Structure 1
């Protein structure tokens, strides 16, 4: 039986200093049936020259070069339309794949029922110099993971909390076709994809470290919750979609928890307009309690308590939350 084709969609924007390590990790996969597509979204560093060098050496790499910056969601969709794989990996070229990554995820999918559409794993966290910082999941002495992974029907879980390391995900092509890819109107894809895909497809957690996620100041994940952040507008769009997808009281409570969390952080980053909009949605959902009413007043009068968040981050992480 032939091995299923796996499409690795490599998204690059000014990743020149990480790009060789990233592409080498894709080319070094032990899995025998890969399709590699690279999209450069108008990088201003030496990324294009590096990609072209790799295409010269490995002509099977498909290279899509943008003459205008389109964003991650558009770039992924463009490559997805070109791709043919039964499974798809969305791979940012500042991250690194372990050699067995694809082979182990395909094998795990083969052992799952057909209604499982998304598979994710643990990951090492590395810094700009590729030094190990730790793992995505912290493990207690008895082996419990934090954040706790969820499996099967995870719709309520993805609404209420963050527990998936994005670069570890492998997706069945059918899932992305059903969703028509990512929503290109959004500034980021993860939350929207998790919400929409988990409504109809089950998730599986494979407890293995198969990826290195790079943590650096310019990564998209580090751009959340800053004053004037455009990603908050995307989060509100996803929450509006989720309102139409909830089917029971437990899911509605999960959505309320998410709205409350996002409203609090919008306020503590001085995004008052977005905080007010989120609290209005919470009111629609019937989830406003006493603490939420206090927050409504703080937002209404724009009381500047941002120092609380900065103090918390200094205490929790030893750095500023700015």
Structure 2
């Protein structure tokens, strides 16, 4: 009897100025126990030694595609470049500072192959590491056997996606056909995960594999740290995704969850000084329900253009001096 061929997995690694970590990320791909891997590396016009390290690695491991961008195209466009060249049945979006554990690909493929075609994503737990590689905590708290102490959503997770952030992005393995069906990442946005979660989970299922299979690097200047930077574009991208969710929602509970999420973004707009954007969020909220007095109060503060962020930073600075 002929042995079933193992499905190919395309790992799309995007890198920008990650000279300190890129070697470890590449090595973690080479150390995978799963043999059928296509590696695509996109250097997004790094200005440090990242590209030279990638090229040195390619000399010893030539079996991967290297795309060198002359200018930084952003994460979403760079990933889509890799997706256009990907031939794997499944795909992984790997950052140049994260690390795959050796059996990650094998275990996720095994899970995927046991699922029906309406599953778009298999995601897992992760351990967060600092800039020196020291392990800090797991994404989901675990017991002594490494199993999650909390129930993690699985199956139809659209409502969960609307409610809050719960998936550790770099742990995802995605069905490549779904990525193509959705047109890849939305290149007009500053980040990919919230948008991908909304668009894919509205039509497809997710499966949670309860193992720690990725090391997620915590670095200064990450997207999450730039949410409150005025003009970063991150909150505007959130607004765009909320509009998409509004069109995709199927029942009143989903609109209620979206309304609650919009309120959190309005508060973030106040803190970031994105006052005009807060007005746009509030207009969208009005289509769903009455904002309520708490949100109206926040909107009054926005219209007064109070520099909450600056005042808070001033408070912290002087608190340290007193201490």
User: Do Structure 1 and Structure 2 share a fold, with TM-score over 0.5?
Assistant: yes
Gaps of at least 5 residues in structure 2 are: none
Please report how far the alpha carbon of residue 268 of structure 1 lies from its aligned counterpart in structure 2 after TM superposition.
Answer: 1.5
Q: Which residue of 1 aligns with 2:16?
A: 13
Please report how far the alpha carbon of residue 35 of structure 1 lies from its aligned counterpart in structure 2 after TM superposition.
Answer: 0.3
2:243 alignment partner, one of 240, 243, 254: 240
Distance in 1 separating the partners of 2:256 and 2:123: 25
2:220 alignment partner, one of 211, 214, 217: 217
1:262 and 2:269 are equivalent in the alignment = no
Q: Which residue of 2 aligns with 1:176?
A: 179
* Contact 1:216–1:222 (8 Å) recurs in 2: no
Q: Deviations over 1:90-134 (max 9, x none)?
A: 000100000000000001112222211111111010000001111
1:126 and 2:126 are equivalent in the alignment = no
1:106 and 2:109 are equivalent in the alignment = yes
Distance in 1 separating the partners of 2:280 and 2:24: 42
Distance in 2 separating the partners of 1:79 and 1:313: 43
Gaps of at least 5 residues in structure 1 are: none
Q: Which residue of 2 aligns with 1:23?
A: 26
Distance in 1 separating the partners of 2:81 and 2:249: 30
1:136 alignment partner, one of 123, 135, 139: 139
Distance in 2 separating the partners of 1:235 and 1:18: 29
Please report how far the alpha carbon of residue 222 of structure 1 lies from its aligned counterpart in structure 2 after TM superposition.
Answer: 2.5
Distance in 2 separating the partners of 1:310 and 1:4: 51
1:202 and 2:205 are equivalent in the alignment = yes
Does the residue aligned with 2:298 lie in a helix, a strand or coil?
helix
1:292 alignment partner, one of 286, 292, 295: 295
Please report how far the alpha carbon of residue 311 of structure 1 lies from its aligned counterpart in structure 2 after TM superposition.
Answer: 11
Does the residue aligned with 1:30 lie in a helix, a strand or coil?
coil
Distance in 2 separating the partners of 1:219 and 1:54: 26
* Contact 1:246–1:252 (8 Å) recurs in 2: yes
1:34 and 2:40 are equivalent in the alignment = no
Distance in 2 separating the partners of 1:312 and 1:108: 50
How many pairs does the alignment contain? Answer: 313
CA RMSD in angstroms, aligned pairs only? 2.2
* Contact 2:153–2:160 (8 Å) recurs in 1: yes
